């Protein structure tokens, strides 16, 4: 079976990169666009299962994109999730009314956004797996999942902290270094089984 295709739409490249990394790691096929108009161009060429779009964007925002998708009979069944830094409940109400499945604040972190997508799509059809015939002991699997979850949460917190205005250069450098370390921990914990067992 093909992987579910997710179209990530946001005018902030760092947000797109963070979501793309997590979604591809979870087993989804990810397409990207920098705003709503570009998203429509992508959809004319490729079938998309879910649109994950920022609410506030130039040229064509998430709400307008959702309205246009739902008005097109060729795309009507495409599911839409919107997210934004704005936590105004009125935004969520408008998103649901126009046909989006949900509206999520960015302050909840990328991990929660990806988890919500999983609830909408169900498990990806293809998940990353270790070497054939090798399974973790239950304790090892639980430990690895906990470590990955903590690393993902740390990456999200550090990213949000880095968005703060007026930080001294030294603090911004420290945040960047800490984020890279957290990403390395997440990457190593996910690869640990394949690397550690192959040498045995």
pLDDT per residue as tens, the chain (200 positions): 578 899 999 988 888 998 899 888 888 999 999 998 999 999 999 999 999 998 888 778 888 888 899 888 888 889 998 888 777 777 778 778 877 888 887 777 788 888 888 887 776 644 333 333 334 455 555 556 666 666 666 666 666 666 667 777 777 667 777 777 777 676 666 654 444 433 33
Q: Are residues 13 and 107 in the same domain?
A: yes
Q: Are residues 21 and 63 in the same domain?
A: yes
Q: For residue 66, what is the DSSP state?
A: H
The pLDDT of residue 127 = 37
The pLDDT of residue 32 = 96
Q: At what angle do helices 169-198 and 138-162 cross, to 10 degrees?
A: 160
User: What's the structural domain count of the chain?
Assistant: 2
Q: Is 126 among the domain residues?
A: no
The pLDDT of residue 41 = 94
Token pair 């690393």 is found at 151
Closest-CA residue to 92 (of 55, 123, 129)? 55
* Phi, psi dihedral angles at 47 (to 5 degrees): -75, 135
Angle of CA points 118, 54, 74, to nearest 5°: 70
Q: Are residues 114 and 144 in the same domain?
A: no
Q: How far apart are CA 39 and CA 71, in angstroms?
A: 15
Q: Are residues 114 and 143 in the same domain?
A: no
- Strands across the sheet with 29-33, in order? 29-33, 5-9, 50-54, 79-84, 102-105
The pLDDT of residue 140 = 58
Q: Is 99 among the domain residues?
A: yes
User: What residue numbers bound the domain in which 188 lies?
Assistant: 138-198
Nearby residues of 129 by Cβ (< 8 Å), 6 or more positions away:
none
Q: Is 77 among the domain residues?
A: yes
Q: Are residues 100 and 158 in the same domain?
A: no
Token pair 């989006």 is found at 100
**CATH number where 77 lies:** 3.40.50.2300
Q: How far apart are CA 123 and CA 1, in angstroms?
A: 13
The pLDDT of residue 97 = 82
Closest-CA residue to 49 (of 105, 118, 96, 98)? 118
Angle of CA points 123, 145, 121, to nearest 5°: 15
The pLDDT of residue 109 = 79
Q: Are residues 161 and 89 in the same domain?
A: no
């Amino acid at each position: 079976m093909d992987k579910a295709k997710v179209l990530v739409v946001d005018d902030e490249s760092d947000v797109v990169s963070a979501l793309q990394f997590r979604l591809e790691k979870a087993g989804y096929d990810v397409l990207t666009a920098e705003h709503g108009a570009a998203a429509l161009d992508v959809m004319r060429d490729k079938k998309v299962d879910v649109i994950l779009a920022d609410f506030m964007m130039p040229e064509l925002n998430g709400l307008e994109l959702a309205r246009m998708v739902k008005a097109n009979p060729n795309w009507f069944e495409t599911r839409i999730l919107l997210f934004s830094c704005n936590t105004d409940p009125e935004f969520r109400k408008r998103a649901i009314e126009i046909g989006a499945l949900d509206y999520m604040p960015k302050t909840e972190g990328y991990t929660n956004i990806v988890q919500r997508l999983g609830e909408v799509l169900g498990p990806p059809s293809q998940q990353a797996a270790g070497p054939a015939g090798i399974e973790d002991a239950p304790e090892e699997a639980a430990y690895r999942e906990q470590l990955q979850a903590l690393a993902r949460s740390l990456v999200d917190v550090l990213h949000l902290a880095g968005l703060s205005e007026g930080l001294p250069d030294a603090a911004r450098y420290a945040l960047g270094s800490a984020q890279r370390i957290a990403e390395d921990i997440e990457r190593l914990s996910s690869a640990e089984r394949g690397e550690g067992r192959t040498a045995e």
